[in-house]
A and B are shown apart, each in its own frame.
Chain A
């Protein structure tokens, strides 16, 4: 385990050595502030008639960030952790150390997931702070907490898919392009063919909607959990198989 954690720490260090992740974090916070300002301006101009729903800013922003922004961060970070290192040969710096490929693979996944969680935590803290300072207080604090925690599940499945794709494409830019393309296609497919939505893992991005604010039908929920677990297993085992067989 010591070497798994050493690897995870190293991967986090490498990701945080890249300035773009700080810039994207600043943009994330700026979007939240901008949204609040726009909401206030529109509400004032229309005597409260037009509002973006910023009273529940944390939940409103979660919808946008969980569908668009954080998936992009996950795609970018997975490319940095895998395909970029294949391209420039730096992955060899790890593979010649006394650590198994399974631990290398898991430590890279863990680090990207922790980065995504960092973005999610920053989003939560920013929106909750803004709600406290400029909103109507924390009306749905615990619902927000639950939603943020629950939405980690589909993000993890998405990350495993991104890591699998990284084992297939040859360059990091091509991988990034393919990831965006596949993600958009699956999302659009889920919108235009509602019957498919329940079968695609991208249809569960707002996982919290299935759990919060309603009585949970037991068997359908078990089926949905099983579906996501199935996707996660396929992505994880397929990705690891390709990583293990890869030659450098």
Chain B
């Protein structure tokens, strides 16, 4: 299988000692990999280092075979991402935000902008200023920006953040459909085990900056009734039983 993303020994520690340490994972085409861990476990730091928003202390990141530090443009050419809160120009309209992003991709047309707005159900609000949007609408627009260039690798940090139940289900269905029909590869982070269980075919557990495991969902669920049990077992193995 074609390797889409290769992370090897990635370490990024902040001054307060938090961050991510010695993370290694490989994503093959069509994988939907979930990074599962609580807040502060290093999920966002790992994703930021993968897309070059922070510089890793050590380790390498290769996307489509290109090193992110050395050949950034080629590495990121077929990548879409949503890291932390969506980065939106609130004084501009939804359509204008998408138009600005589209200029970096010669193949993205006006029709594609219309299509992604429809995909995230924001087509009615395309001429509205983003500053007036609710949290959920901003999250949808952030996802539209990630989907815009028809990327082959999508990196989504807590994609369900701020969405209502219906919105969460819709985003999950979009992810599953894109993975199934277009063979798109996903790296998704979440602190909700049930969400990862329903969406991903592989899972990596992160805790206090360390990667405790990386398994297929099939293997994880063969040994544990739910992904939550799998996660708790991995965490307890590391820090010992909970004492009340």
Q: A residues bordering B, Cβ < 8 Å? A: 2-3, 6-7, 9-10, 13-14, 17-18, 88-93, 95-101, 245, 247-248
Contacts and interface: CB of A to CB of B under 8 A. Distances in A.
Given A2-B106, A14-B92, A89 B87 contact: yes
Contacts of B81: 96
Given A96-B83, A98-B73, A247-B55, 13 more contacts: A3-B73, A6-B104, A14-B89, A17-B96, A89-B85, A90-B87, A90-B89, A93-B89, A96-B51, A96-B87, A99-B73, A99-B104, A101-B72
Contacts of B222: none
A85 to B, nearest CB: 9
Contact of A92 (B75, B83, B96, B104): B83
B223 to A, nearest CB: 36
A10 B100 contact: yes
The 3 A-B residue pairs whose C-beta atoms are closest, nearest first, are A6-B103, A93-B87, A98-B76
A92 B53 contact: yes
B77 to A, nearest CB: 5
Nearest to B93: A17
A61 to B, nearest CB: 31
Nearest to A14: B89
Contacts of A95: 51-53
26 contacts: A6-B103, A7-B103, A7-B104, A10-B100, A14-B89, A17-B91, A90-B87, A91-B87, A92-B84, A93-B89, A93-B101, A95-B51, A96-B79, A96-B81, A96-B83, A98-B72, A98-B74, A98-B104, A99-B73, A99-B104, A100-B73, A245-B55, A247-B55, A248-B48, A248-B53, A248-B54
A82 B72 CA distance: 21
B72 A92 contact: no
B100 A13 contact: yes
Interface centre among A18, A101, A247 (most CB of B within 10 A): A247
Nearest to B52: A95
B102 to A, nearest CB: 9
A38 B74 CA distance: 60
A23 to B, nearest CB: 15
Contacts of B89: 14, 17, 90, 93
